[in-house]
Amino acid sequence: MKKNKLKLNIWTGVLDIINCVVFAASWFVIFATAFSDAFVGSNRTSGASGFFYFMAFFGLVLNIIALIQSRRHNISLVGSVLGIIGNALFLLIGALAFPAIVLLIIATVFIFLQHPRNTSDITPNNNAQHS
């Protein structure tokens, strides 16, 4: 049995790990720039938050592409789906950074495993006894 491994899934997992670190640092960076903006009178907070949202958007797009390719190569979709949800959580509301980090960690594990997808057809009467 040939085992499918996609380099795209490996790169998606690496980006999910990077996004975990970026999302963990996001609150500290946003609060620090907002605090300095209050005293200096500048507007650097929007630029800093734009970087974090760009990373979340890039992670979302890469996970969607990985989902499509994994489906095509019969690889489990769990990691890509969790990666999509994690990046979308941060992209929608930056305050959900912690749940996004947890989902991305779990997604990374599943993406790196690259197990074959379960494609068994289960019908309700498969185990029925015929008399």
Residue pair 83/69 in contact (Cβ under 8 Å)? The answer is no
**pLDDT tier, 47 (very low <50, low <70, confident <90, very high otherwise):** confident
User: For residue 103, is pLDDT > 70?
Assistant: yes
The mean per-residue pLDDT over the stretch 8-19 comes to 95
Neighbouring residues of 103: CB distance < 8 A, sequence distance ≥ 6 = 82, 83, 85, 86, 89
Query: In this structure, is the dihedral angle defined by the CA atoms of residues 73, 78, 81 and 86, taken in order, positive or negative?
Result: negative
The DSSP letter of residue 125 is T
The alpha helices in 41-77, defined as continuous H runs, are: 45-72
